[in-house]
Structure 1
Amino acid sequence: MPKPYPEEFREDVVRVARNRGPGVTVEQVAKDFGVHPMTLWKWMRRADIDDEAKPGITSQESTELREARQRIKLLEQENEVLRRAAALEILWIVLGQWSASDGQEDPGKLLDTAFAAFSTPGAIRWTLRCSSSSSQPNTRATIRQVVRLLERRPAPA
Protein backbone atom coordinates (compact mmCIF):
# COMPACT_ATOMS: atom_id res chain seq x y z
CA MET A 1 0.00 0.00 0.00
CA PRO A 2 1.42 3.42 -0.89
CA LYS A 3 2.45 5.73 1.88
CA PRO A 4 -0.24 8.33 2.71
CA TYR A 5 0.45 11.94 1.87
CA PRO A 6 1.13 14.26 4.83
CA GLU A 7 -1.92 16.17 6.07
CA GLU A 8 -0.25 19.54 5.44
CA PHE A 9 0.41 18.57 1.80
CA ARG A 10 -3.21 17.53 1.35
CA GLU A 11 -4.46 20.82 2.78
CA ASP A 12 -2.17 22.81 0.46
CA VAL A 13 -3.27 20.88 -2.63
CA VAL A 14 -6.96 21.28 -1.72
CA ARG A 15 -6.47 25.01 -1.10
CA VAL A 16 -4.78 25.44 -4.53
CA ALA A 17 -7.53 23.38 -6.22
CA ARG A 18 -10.26 25.48 -4.60
CA ASN A 19 -8.56 28.75 -5.57
CA ARG A 20 -7.64 27.70 -9.11
CA GLY A 21 -8.10 30.22 -11.87
CA PRO A 22 -10.66 30.08 -14.65
CA GLY A 23 -9.85 27.44 -17.24
CA VAL A 24 -7.70 25.40 -14.82
CA THR A 25 -9.15 21.98 -14.13
CA VAL A 26 -8.81 19.84 -11.01
CA GLU A 27 -7.03 17.29 -13.19
CA GLN A 28 -4.34 19.87 -14.08
CA VAL A 29 -3.84 20.80 -10.42
CA ALA A 30 -3.57 17.11 -9.51
CA LYS A 31 -1.02 16.54 -12.28
CA ASP A 32 1.03 19.55 -11.11
CA PHE A 33 1.25 18.11 -7.59
CA GLY A 34 1.79 14.52 -8.76
CA VAL A 35 -1.40 13.02 -7.36
CA HIS A 36 -4.18 11.17 -9.12
CA PRO A 37 -7.17 13.39 -9.98
CA MET A 38 -9.59 11.08 -8.16
CA THR A 39 -7.43 11.36 -5.03
CA LEU A 40 -7.67 15.14 -5.21
CA TRP A 41 -11.45 14.96 -5.68
CA LYS A 42 -11.69 12.75 -2.56
CA TRP A 43 -9.54 15.18 -0.58
CA MET A 44 -11.74 18.08 -1.67
CA ARG A 45 -14.92 16.19 -0.73
CA ARG A 46 -13.42 15.31 2.69
CA ALA A 47 -12.39 18.97 3.20
CA ASP A 48 -15.94 20.12 2.36
CA ILE A 49 -17.35 17.73 4.95
CA ASP A 50 -14.77 18.77 7.56
CA ASP A 51 -15.56 22.45 6.87
CA GLU A 52 -19.26 21.58 7.22
CA ALA A 53 -19.96 22.85 3.71
CA LYS A 54 -21.49 19.45 2.92
CA PRO A 55 -23.28 16.96 5.15
CA GLY A 56 -21.39 13.91 6.34
CA ILE A 57 -19.20 12.50 9.07
CA THR A 58 -16.17 14.68 9.72
CA SER A 59 -12.67 13.27 10.10
CA GLN A 60 -12.76 13.95 13.84
CA GLU A 61 -16.12 12.18 14.24
CA SER A 62 -14.83 9.28 12.16
CA THR A 63 -11.77 8.96 14.39
CA GLU A 64 -13.92 9.08 17.54
CA LEU A 65 -16.26 6.44 16.10
CA ARG A 66 -13.34 4.15 15.22
CA GLU A 67 -11.89 4.52 18.73
CA ALA A 68 -15.30 3.87 20.31
CA ARG A 69 -15.74 0.72 18.23
CA GLN A 70 -12.29 -0.50 19.28
CA ARG A 71 -13.14 0.19 22.93
CA ILE A 72 -16.46 -1.65 22.62
CA LYS A 73 -14.71 -4.62 21.03
CA LEU A 74 -12.16 -4.69 23.86
CA LEU A 75 -14.90 -4.48 26.52
CA GLU A 76 -16.83 -7.29 24.83
CA GLN A 77 -13.69 -9.44 24.86
CA GLU A 78 -13.09 -8.67 28.54
CA ASN A 79 -16.73 -9.51 29.30
CA GLU A 80 -16.37 -12.83 27.47
CA VAL A 81 -13.25 -13.68 29.50
CA LEU A 82 -15.03 -12.88 32.76
CA ARG A 83 -18.09 -14.90 31.72
CA ARG A 84 -15.93 -17.90 30.91
CA ALA A 85 -13.97 -17.52 34.14
CA ALA A 86 -17.19 -17.54 36.14
CA ALA A 87 -18.41 -20.61 34.27
CA LEU A 88 -15.11 -22.38 34.90
CA GLU A 89 -15.27 -21.44 38.59
CA ILE A 90 -18.70 -23.05 38.81
CA LEU A 91 -17.44 -26.12 37.01
CA TRP A 92 -14.46 -26.42 39.40
CA ILE A 93 -16.77 -26.17 42.40
CA VAL A 94 -19.01 -28.90 41.00
CA LEU A 95 -16.07 -31.14 40.09
CA GLY A 96 -14.47 -30.60 43.50
CA GLN A 97 -17.64 -31.42 45.39
CA TRP A 98 -18.36 -34.38 43.14
CA SER A 99 -14.87 -35.86 43.54
CA ALA A 100 -14.95 -35.18 47.31
CA SER A 101 -18.09 -37.29 47.52
CA ASP A 102 -16.36 -40.15 45.65
CA GLY A 103 -18.89 -39.81 42.84
CA GLN A 104 -21.85 -40.51 45.16
CA GLU A 105 -23.41 -37.00 45.01
CA ASP A 106 -25.78 -36.09 42.23
CA PRO A 107 -23.77 -33.76 39.92
CA GLY A 108 -26.95 -31.99 38.82
CA LYS A 109 -27.77 -31.10 42.42
CA LEU A 110 -24.20 -29.88 43.01
CA LEU A 111 -24.42 -27.81 39.86
CA ASP A 112 -27.65 -26.15 40.99
CA THR A 113 -26.01 -25.34 44.34
CA ALA A 114 -22.99 -23.82 42.60
CA PHE A 115 -25.21 -21.79 40.29
CA ALA A 116 -27.20 -20.48 43.23
CA ALA A 117 -23.97 -19.21 44.77
CA PHE A 118 -22.83 -17.41 41.61
CA SER A 119 -25.89 -16.31 39.71
CA THR A 120 -29.23 -14.66 39.91
CA PRO A 121 -32.43 -16.67 39.38
CA GLY A 122 -33.02 -17.27 35.70
CA ALA A 123 -29.39 -16.74 34.77
CA ILE A 124 -28.19 -20.30 35.13
CA ARG A 125 -27.40 -21.00 31.50
CA TRP A 126 -23.64 -20.50 31.38
CA THR A 127 -21.84 -21.66 28.29
CA LEU A 128 -18.28 -22.82 27.82
CA ARG A 129 -16.62 -22.93 24.46
CA CYS A 130 -14.83 -26.22 24.00
CA SER A 131 -12.84 -25.05 21.01
CA SER A 132 -12.08 -21.68 19.51
CA SER A 133 -10.96 -23.37 16.31
CA SER A 134 -12.58 -21.96 13.20
CA SER A 135 -12.82 -25.49 11.80
CA GLN A 136 -15.32 -26.34 14.57
CA PRO A 137 -17.41 -23.20 14.99
CA ASN A 138 -20.41 -25.02 16.50
CA THR A 139 -18.47 -26.99 19.11
CA ARG A 140 -20.09 -25.82 22.34
CA ALA A 141 -20.93 -27.55 25.58
CA THR A 142 -22.96 -26.32 28.51
CA ILE A 143 -21.95 -27.12 32.04
CA ARG A 144 -25.01 -29.35 32.25
CA GLN A 145 -23.61 -31.41 29.37
CA VAL A 146 -20.31 -31.72 31.23
CA VAL A 147 -22.23 -32.90 34.29
CA ARG A 148 -24.07 -35.47 32.17
CA LEU A 149 -20.69 -36.79 31.05
CA LEU A 150 -19.64 -37.04 34.71
CA GLU A 151 -22.81 -38.95 35.54
CA ARG A 152 -22.02 -41.53 32.84
CA ARG A 153 -18.49 -42.03 34.09
CA PRO A 154 -18.17 -45.01 36.44
CA ALA A 155 -17.60 -44.16 40.09
CA PRO A 156 -14.05 -44.70 41.34
CA ALA A 157 -13.54 -48.10 42.92
Structure 2
Amino acid sequence: MAAPRGYPLELRERAVRMYRTAEPKPQIKRMAVDLGVHPEAVRSWIRQTEADASERDDRLTTAEREELAALRREIAQLRRANDVLRTASAFFAAQLDPTRAR
Protein backbone atom coordinates (compact mmCIF):
# COMPACT_ATOMS: atom_id res chain seq x y z
CA MET A 1 0.00 0.00 0.00
CA ALA A 2 1.36 3.39 -0.97
CA ALA A 3 2.21 6.02 1.58
CA PRO A 4 -0.31 8.84 1.91
CA ARG A 5 0.52 11.87 -0.17
CA GLY A 6 1.77 14.90 1.72
CA TYR A 7 0.31 17.48 -0.64
CA PRO A 8 -3.01 17.49 -2.49
CA LEU A 9 -2.94 16.53 -6.15
CA GLU A 10 -4.47 19.90 -7.10
CA LEU A 11 -1.55 21.74 -5.49
CA ARG A 12 0.94 19.56 -7.35
CA GLU A 13 -0.74 20.14 -10.69
CA ARG A 14 -1.04 23.89 -10.06
CA ALA A 15 2.64 24.21 -9.10
CA VAL A 16 3.80 22.34 -12.20
CA ARG A 17 1.45 24.31 -14.44
CA MET A 18 2.69 27.60 -12.93
CA TYR A 19 6.29 26.63 -13.58
CA ARG A 20 5.76 25.34 -17.12
CA THR A 21 3.67 28.29 -18.33
CA ALA A 22 5.70 31.11 -16.76
CA GLU A 23 8.12 33.09 -18.89
CA PRO A 24 10.86 33.55 -17.85
CA LYS A 25 11.06 30.40 -15.74
CA PRO A 26 10.63 31.27 -12.05
CA GLN A 27 13.00 30.12 -9.38
CA ILE A 28 11.64 26.91 -7.95
CA LYS A 29 12.65 27.88 -4.44
CA ARG A 30 10.78 31.20 -4.53
CA MET A 31 7.73 29.58 -6.12
CA ALA A 32 7.72 26.82 -3.47
CA VAL A 33 7.87 29.37 -0.65
CA ASP A 34 4.92 31.23 -2.19
CA LEU A 35 2.93 27.97 -2.32
CA GLY A 36 4.01 26.84 1.16
CA VAL A 37 5.69 23.70 -0.19
CA HIS A 38 9.19 22.33 0.21
CA PRO A 39 11.34 23.27 -2.83
CA GLU A 40 12.55 19.72 -3.41
CA ALA A 41 8.95 18.52 -3.59
CA VAL A 42 8.18 21.03 -6.33
CA ARG A 43 11.40 20.15 -8.14
CA SER A 44 10.56 16.44 -8.11
CA TRP A 45 6.99 17.12 -9.35
CA ILE A 46 8.39 19.11 -12.25
CA ARG A 47 10.94 16.42 -13.10
CA GLN A 48 8.30 13.68 -12.96
CA THR A 49 5.97 15.67 -15.22
CA GLU A 50 8.79 16.18 -17.69
CA ALA A 51 9.57 12.44 -17.62
CA ASP A 52 5.90 11.62 -18.23
CA ALA A 53 5.91 14.00 -21.20
CA SER A 54 9.05 12.26 -22.61
CA GLU A 55 11.12 15.39 -22.11
CA ARG A 56 13.59 13.63 -19.79
CA ASP A 57 15.37 10.33 -20.15
CA ASP A 58 16.92 10.15 -16.68
CA ARG A 59 13.70 9.16 -14.85
CA LEU A 60 11.05 6.49 -15.23
CA THR A 61 7.61 7.64 -16.25
CA THR A 62 4.73 7.16 -13.82
CA ALA A 63 3.42 4.25 -15.89
CA GLU A 64 6.85 2.60 -15.88
CA ARG A 65 7.10 3.05 -12.11
CA GLU A 66 3.69 1.44 -11.60
CA GLU A 67 4.59 -1.44 -13.91
CA LEU A 68 7.90 -1.96 -12.10
CA ALA A 69 6.15 -2.04 -8.72
CA ALA A 70 3.57 -4.53 -10.01
CA LEU A 71 6.31 -6.77 -11.43
CA ARG A 72 8.24 -6.67 -8.16
CA ARG A 73 5.08 -7.67 -6.24
CA GLU A 74 4.50 -10.52 -8.69
CA ILE A 75 8.09 -11.74 -8.33
CA ALA A 76 7.79 -11.73 -4.54
CA GLN A 77 4.53 -13.68 -4.76
CA LEU A 78 6.06 -16.23 -7.14
CA ARG A 79 9.08 -16.67 -4.87
CA ARG A 80 6.79 -17.34 -1.90
CA ALA A 81 4.83 -19.88 -3.97
CA ASN A 82 8.07 -21.60 -5.04
CA ASP A 83 9.19 -21.84 -1.41
CA VAL A 84 5.89 -23.44 -0.41
CA LEU A 85 6.06 -25.89 -3.31
CA ARG A 86 9.69 -26.75 -2.54
CA THR A 87 8.84 -27.43 1.11
CA ALA A 88 5.76 -29.49 0.20
CA SER A 89 7.75 -31.47 -2.35
CA ALA A 90 10.40 -32.35 0.22
CA PHE A 91 7.75 -33.31 2.76
CA PHE A 92 5.87 -35.62 0.38
CA ALA A 93 9.09 -37.13 -0.97
CA ALA A 94 10.05 -38.07 2.58
CA GLN A 95 6.61 -39.60 3.17
CA LEU A 96 6.70 -41.70 -0.01
CA ASP A 97 10.26 -43.01 0.43
CA PRO A 98 10.67 -44.26 4.01
CA THR A 99 14.16 -45.63 3.30
CA ARG A 100 15.48 -42.16 2.50
CA ALA A 101 17.56 -40.60 5.28
CA ARG A 102 16.04 -37.58 6.93
1:74 alignment partner, one of 77, 88, 92: 77
More helix by share: 2
Count the aligned residue pairs. Answer: 99
Distance in 2 between the 1:94 and 1:25 partners?
74
- Runs of 4+ in structure 1 deviating by more than 3 angstroms, as ranges, are 21-24
1:35-81 CA distance string (max 9 Å, x none): 11121111111111011011131011111111111011101110110
* TM-score of the aligned structures, taking structure 2 as reference length: 0.83
Structure 1: gaps spanning 5 or more residues: 96-106, 112-143, 147-157
1:1-12 to structure 2, matched below 5 A, reads 3-12=5-14
- SS of alignment partner, residue 66 of structure 1: helix
Q: Does 1:32 pair with 2:34?
A: yes
User: Given the superposition, is the C-alpha separation of residues 85 and 16 from structure 1 closer, same or farther in structure 2, using an over 3 Å criterion?
Assistant: same
Alpha-carbon distance, 1:19 to partner? 2.1
Q: Which structure has the larger Rg?
A: 1
* TM-score of the aligned structures, taking structure 1 as reference length: 0.56
Structure 2: gaps spanning 5 or more residues: none
Please tell me the residue identity of whatever aligns with 2:56. Answer: K
1:84-142 CA distance string (max 9 Å, x none): 101100111234xxxxxxxxxxx2xxx3xxxxxxxxxxxxxxxxxxxxxxxxxxxxxxx
Q: Does 1:91 pair with 2:94?
A: yes
